[in-house]
Amino acid sequence: MNKLAGLIKQMNKDELQLLNRDLIAGNIDKILRKRLNELNNENFDEKQCPVCGGNVNEESFKIEFGKLYLRRKAYFDAVDCMQYFIETKIKKQHIDIGY
Ligand SMILES: [Zn+2]
């Protein structure tokens, strides 16, 4: 809360009024929930590139594949790894789930 209080102290009156409007409209709640969901679902400390085992992060290449109810995500550290994965796992095997 200290960090947020510090940010609020730095804002001018117009910015504070906009923030207050977002608060009343429930937009702040939406932003917080969205970010928490992102952080909960995307724990990059445990993720590795499925092709080479390299580290991945928020800026890595990502694909989503599979049927809607079995949607999967895969993260890659390089375009080459992503291309290899698509050609060997998705194109040739036509898989819906897993890899
Ligand atoms: Zn890789």
The DSSP string of the chain is -HHHHHHHHHS-HHHHHHHHHHHHHTHHHHHHHHHHHHHHH--TTS-B-TTT--B--TTSEEEEES-GGG-EEEEESSHHHHHHHIIIIIITT--SS--
Q: Which residues line ion ligand 1, judged by CB < 5 Å? A: 49, 51-52, 54, 77, 81
Span 17-42, pLDDT tens digits: 999 999 999 888 888 888 877 776 66
Find the 98 Cα to ligand 1 centroid distance in Å: 17
pTM over 0.75: no
Find the 2 Cα to ligand 1 centroid distance in Å: 39
Backbone angles phi and psi of 39, in degrees to 5: -65, -35
Q: Where are the domains of the chain?
A: 1-41, 43-99
Integer-rounded Cα Rg, in Å, for the chain is 20
pLDDT of amino acid 40? 67
Span 36-68, pLDDT tens digits: 777 766 677 778 999 999 999 888 999 988 777
Backbone angles phi and psi of 67, in degrees to 5: -65, 155
